[in-house]
Structure 1
Amino acid sequence: MAVRIELRENWVLRADDPAEVPVEIGPAGIPATVPGCVHTDLMAANLIPDPYQGRNETELGWIGRTQWSYTTTFDATALAEAERIDLECAGLDTVATVFLNGTEVGQSRNMHRSYRFDLRRALRDGTNELRVEFASPYSYATALRDKLGDRPNAYPEPFQFIRKMACNFGWDWGPTLVTSGIWRSIHVHAWHTARLAQVVPLITVARTHDGSLEGRVLVRVEVERSEHGEDTELVVRVRIADREQSIAVPAGVCRTELEVTVPDPDLWWPRGYGDQPLYDLRVDLAAHGEELDTWQRRIGFRTVELDTGVDEDGRRFTIVVNGVPVLVKGANWIPDDCFVSRVGRDRYAARIDQAVAANMNLLRVWGGGRYESEDFYELCDERGILVWQDFLFACAAYPEE
């Protein structure tokens, strides 16, 4: 099986253009928390006041105009025999360049996606230094705006010129707090032969010829192979509700799909229309009888349709679940904190429970925020809350270049 080293300890935050930074921060750096961001680290070190208080958001505007870096070390001795050694970055906010032992190994220009960088050419036996440099979000966005030309916008900020949470640049409901940092987990991943690069389950429910219900889980799998794994036959196995099915993936092939059927499944319903049964879905990747990787989620069996037919009042806009029109009672969901790494599963649960207590059955994830964490979507599944997911570049004219 693969080995993952989570990089959570011994991070140091530094300002790389100290001319713009208050002198008390100093060149030596301060301890940093990962996942986190510059603002929360500076607050933890008592170097800035609470940005939510008074006019502090304005007085702290220099943070978003400064270049920052995060540095740590890790021991790679145990990884010496691995075929592949990657750096998994679940979230870098936002304009980042990654260095290992002084050698550039990757770049990020998008807060909303994950990245994976091959470390082998720069990795040393023993201790290694990892450094992640973050360019000023303002400098990057304004330079792109100057190059491409301005676009219509609701606020005098360049948020549509950077793939970053738009509301960082201020909104009618929140402050202007332009962050940088490693906002999601970061790992060193050592593996061999192949790994699960992507798993997409597509769940439907259909009637069989005898009128009974049948749940269908079409699992689309993409694998990444190591150089030595190119000539290896792989096996993908899917398990759900005591049903199991496997498929061979021939040498050199990186994509496959298979469907598992579950007879007479218990249906998932929005709150107020029924229960929310969830099923454990597991996908395993193996070769020569050795398990290489695994993926797990909980899923619900349901159909969801949007009825836009015409009736005597005009064109409908009705969400239909399992054939039943749903009276939507919902709200707009914005990020629960400007510093999103402070929002964990317990806080999500408390907020979603507030929606449940208010008799809601839908939350709309607003397009100026972020794609939410797995915790958010899982908790909504458990509590019978439908999720309306906006695209995240929806509140201005974004350059299509």
Structure 2
Amino acid sequence: MATAAKRTPLETGWSFKQTDDKDDAWAPVARVPTVVHMDLLDNKRIPDPFIGTNELDVEWIGERSWTYRTSFTAPEIPEGASVYLLFDGLDTFAHVRLNGVTILKSENMFLSHRIPITSMLYQPGSNQLVIDFDSALLRGRELEKQHPEHRFLASNGEPGRLGVRKAQYHWGWDWGPVLMTAGPFRPIRLEVSFAYIEYAKVDYDFSNGLKTATGTVSVDVKGTADEVVLSLRYEGNEVCSQRAAVAADGSTKLEFQLDNPYLWYPYGYGEQPLYEVVVLAVKDGNTLDTWTKKTGFRGSELIQKKDNHGESFYFRVNDVDIFCGGSCWIPADNFLPRLTPEKYRSWLELMIEGGQNMTRVWGGGIYEDDAFYDACDELGILVWQDFMFACGSYPVWPGLQDSIREEAKQNVRRLRHHPSIVLWAGNNEDYQIQEQYNLNYDYENNDHESWLKGSFPARYYYEYLLPAVVKQEAPAVAYWPSSPFSNGKNTWDLTVGDVHQWNVWHGSQEKYQRFPEIGGRFNSEFGLASFPVLETVQGMVSNAKDLYPQSRALDFHNKADGHERRIATYIAENFQIQSGLASWIYLTQLAQSEAVAYAYRGWRRQWGDERHCGGALVWQLNDCWPASSWAIADYYLRKKPAFYTINRALQPLAVGVQRAHHDWSVSHARPAKKSAYSVWVVSSLAREEKVDVEVRFVSVESGRDIRSPIVKVGITINANGTTGVASGEIDNVTEEPHVLAARIISGGETISRDVDWPQPFKYLSFADRGVKVEAQPGRYIVSAERPTKGVVFEEADGVVLSDNCLDIIPGDPQVVEVRGGTEVPQAKYRYLGCEEN
């Protein structure tokens, strides 16, 4: 009698050695999935490459070949059953042998493999599985030589990476080390089955104003099943069931209809109900295989229409326009098997804690583990998913095309049931390489075969092959050729498409105060680099003598070209420079915090102006190792001040206040005689709200109000948009330097604050602020006698603060809730102009 498929992980009993060293002894492997660096660390054969300059001491690993082996006893094989080896991911050039016979040669890290092995097993007896991994670094160099017809053009890493389907950041990036991994980085399983479900696909459409979902589940079964059964469940209760016979080719379709389905919304706009889709492959009433996924029902659109600003670029979910405030995601470790479902969950919960509703999975990493997207579905985080191409002009020889087509098909199929994924993008910044090197590109030329013969042949992937796969496999999800992309215009066009706004930090190194005026229709990358928290910095070095801002070890942990000049420039332009490592770390973090404040505050304000700005995704949420970078939380999930600044700007109701930017360097430190200012409130709520708004004008020097406050009582805030509250002009000749402090008061409680300061801070005196921090059970109460900039509490692991990096105004004390730990720790903090307390 046919029985259910049985899959057994091959996790233990492995060993490894250096393939090309006959004297290297086999060493134990703790667990598969793994990569060679993890196993060398476990066997104490290398130093930790995350500390000091040890990265240099382990570079040799990437230039060697490595072999993994294990043995297993053949399973019992009932008559009519088959046995398979399932490889979810091999990094990268893998030659797999079973009992001395080659069963697989793989050259793509992003592919999974199912290999039939029934006839090859020793039964009874031990079966030996051996995997040789060639050096991807050396193979990339060889491929570059073998294909002189192509110009290998790349920024970051060696150009040979372009011919290798491996996570591109492993070659090193401007935020990460060169650590060329190899090994079985995803699970390997042994399967015994009479039949298996190769794939299932859920398609649906809405009618009756989103009140009816009608769809089909397409299933492909391999093996002896004669029937497929569908069960659609919500919170454990079956809401729909169907069954159908399996066609001769193994395919079948089952139809369903849901009346009044529970709709899935992104965080901040509604709930995230998930349905369970269960598909059974059946033979004579016996279940042979089960396919189970959770999905959410939602309508998703990318809205691009002409308007007074050019052409819009924003997302609409279930007929609700969504402002996408969030951050870009890079792989959260250089050693991918370290990333557990719990670690993914912690990172994504951090996004929700920070008020963010979208992440962009960057194209130089990987198609992330299922656990990443499962958490996004459950938490309501929209996903902009890049295909895995970044910062290069990629080659197109036929074998590589075939591999990329299969890569795209497999990964879109694997991920298409996730309601969180609302866009697939062809690559990261490859069209900027096209522009930089003047590679030929005629947007009006639609002959995709001719693209293969040009100097920018990868256009074939981004505008033909990949969109065709998405249309076939996930037609309800939007496709976009690149990030950034501007419909054939230059990639820095601010009127159409998405933009990577790097003229702050990179490029022309604009003042970060200009962010609001240099944004595009969707800002999918921008940022300012900073040091991580002091505890992380201390752990990055092996010798305390390196704990000063310009040490070689600390510079080594910042991979950005010219970072010394850029960090120094933005600090010197804005702040009085203080000595000491802790003070330097604080100033870099405060600069980053201020930069993202100008960006999110200004761009979210534009949401209410014909959706002028549809989203802002800071570069970047996370790090892959302990480093100074653009991340707003470091490798250990320790939050930088910018994390909190973004959270405040993305609250459902957020007040903004800002005076017109005056470039003091161009005017040779001459102040503007007058400054226009404006106050507004942004809302993501589906309904109008009535609130009170107060604006105060407070002297930086004395802490006194130099004007009567502006108080607006019971004003109506537009739903899902922007409401202007007040505007005016400051006379900088007669009025002393002062802050504009705005807040929203609802039900007698302050629910949002914003403070505009005279720029730059370096011209202001911050002596004698009169800051007071009172520790009470579960909270701190912070007050000041004079306006105080950037009160940052030192955070301990396991202790969560409700807010940080606060601007404190006299007469408006702020409360910071403290969770975790057994008691509220003694407050240790600093603010602009003081030494740490």
Task: Tell me, yes or no, whether TM beats 0.5.
Answer: yes
Structure 2: stretches of 5+ with no match in the other structure: 398-837
Task: Name 1:389's counterpart in structure 2.
Answer: 385
1:316 is aligned, of 301, 312, 320, to: 312
Query: What is the CA–CA distance in structure 1 between the aligned matches of 2:296 and 2:272, rounded to whole Å?
Result: 7
Whether 1:256 and 2:259 are equivalent positions in the alignment is no
Task: Name 1:237's counterpart in structure 2.
Answer: 230
Query: What is the CA–CA distance in structure 1 between the aligned matches of 2:157 and 2:384, rounded to whole Å?
Result: 28
Moved more, 146-155 or 233-242: 233-242
Alpha-carbon distance, 1:221 to partner: 1.5
Counterpart amino acid of 1:60?
V
Alpha-carbon distance, 1:65 to partner: 1.1
How many percent identity over aligned positions? 36
Task: Name 2:121's counterpart in structure 1.
Answer: 123
Alpha-carbon distance, 1:337 to partner: 0.3
Alignment of 1:16-95 (within 5 A): 16-18=19-21, 26-79=24-77, 81=79, 83-95=81-93
Alpha-carbon distance, 1:121 to partner: 3.3
Whether 1:181 and 2:183 are equivalent positions in the alignment is yes
**Residues 7-28 of structure 1: per-residue CA shift (max 9 Å, x gap):** 0111001111127xxx8xx323
Counterpart amino acid of 2:81?
E
Alpha-carbon distance, 1:279 to partner: 1.1
Structure 1 residues 326 and 73, CA, compared in 2 at 3 Å: closer, same or farther?
Answer: same
Query: What is the CA–CA distance in structure 2 between the aligned matches of 1:138 and 1:10, rounded to whole Å?
Result: 28
Task: Name 1:169's counterpart in structure 2.
Answer: 171
Alpha-carbon distance, 1:47 to partner: 0.8
Q: CA RMSD in A?
A: 1.7
1:368 is aligned, of 359, 364, 372, to: 364
On the 8 A contact 2:157/2:173 being kept in 1, the answer is: no
Whether 1:136 and 2:135 are equivalent positions in the alignment is yes
On the 8 A contact 1:201/1:219 being kept in 2, the answer is: yes
Alpha-carbon distance, 1:257 to partner: 2.4
Task: Name 2:152's counterpart in structure 1.
Answer: 151
1:246 is aligned, of 243, 248, 260, to: 243
Q: Matched residue of 1:274: which SS?
A: coil
On the 8 A contact 2:263/2:296 being kept in 1, the answer is: yes
Structure 1: stretches of 5+ with no match in the other structure: none
Alignment of 1:279-298 (within 5 A): 279-298=275-294
On the 8 A contact 1:13/1:32 being kept in 2, the answer is: no
Alpha-carbon distance, 1:77 to partner: 4.3
Task: Name 1:196's counterpart in structure 2.
Answer: 197
Task: Name 1:207's counterpart in structure 2.
Answer: 207
Alpha-carbon distance, 1:113 to partner: 1.7
Alpha-carbon distance, 1:58 to partner: 2.0
Query: What is the CA–CA distance in structure 2 between the aligned matches of 1:174 and 1:253, rounded to whole Å?
Result: 47
On the 8 A contact 2:171/2:180 being kept in 1, the answer is: yes
Q: Give the TM-score of the pair, scaled to structure 2.
A: 0.45
Counterpart amino acid of 1:235?
V
On the 8 A contact 2:226/2:281 being kept in 1, the answer is: no
On the 8 A contact 1:87/1:189 being kept in 2, the answer is: yes
Alpha-carbon distance, 1:236 to partner: 4.0
Query: What is the CA–CA distance in structure 2 between the aligned matches of 1:81 and 1:40, rounded to whole Å?
Result: 41
Task: Name 1:8's counterpart in structure 2.
Answer: 11
Counterpart amino acid of 1:350?
S
On the 8 A contact 1:82/1:190 being kept in 2, the answer is: no
Moved more, 102-111 or 239-248: 239-248
**Residues 184-234 of structure 1: per-residue CA shift (max 9 Å, x gap):** 110111111x21011222344x223xx570123432212223xxx3xx633
Structure 1 residues 55 and 297, CA, compared in 2 at 3 Å: closer, same or farther?
Answer: same
Query: What is the CA–CA distance in structure 2 between the aligned matches of 1:345 and 1:212, rounded to whole Å?
Result: 33
**When the two structures are aligned, how many residues end up with a matched partner?**
386
Counterpart amino acid of 1:167?
Y
Counterpart amino acid of 1:223?
V
Query: What is the CA–CA distance in structure 2 between the aligned matches of 1:369 and 1:388, rounded to whole Å?
Result: 14
Counterpart amino acid of 1:134?
F
Q: Matched residue of 2:38: which SS?
A: helix
Query: What is the CA–CA distance in structure 2 between the aligned matches of 1:307 and 1:31, rounded to whole Å?
Result: 50
Q: Decide which structure has greater strand share.
A: 1
2:346 is aligned, of 335, 344, 350, to: 350
On the 8 A contact 1:238/1:260 being kept in 2, the answer is: no
Task: Name 1:379's counterpart in structure 2.
Answer: 375
Structure 1 residues 212 and 170, CA, compared in 2 at 3 Å: closer, same or farther?
Answer: closer
1:268 is aligned, of 261, 264, 268, to: 264
Counterpart amino acid of 1:271?
Y
On the 8 A contact 1:15/1:29 being kept in 2, the answer is: no
**Residues 92-126 of structure 1: per-residue CA shift (max 9 Å, x gap):** 11110111111111121111121111112321113
Query: What is the CA–CA distance in structure 2 between the aligned matches of 1:202 and 1:112, rounded to whole Å?
Result: 25
- For the pair shown, the structure with the greater C-alpha radius of gyration is 2
Q: Matched residue of 1:78: which SS?
A: coil
Query: What is the CA–CA distance in structure 1 between the aligned matches of 2:210 and 2:57, rounded to whole Å?
Result: 64
Task: Name 1:112's counterpart in structure 2.
Answer: 110
Alpha-carbon distance, 1:156 to partner: 4.5
Q: Matched residue of 1:364: which SS?
A: strand
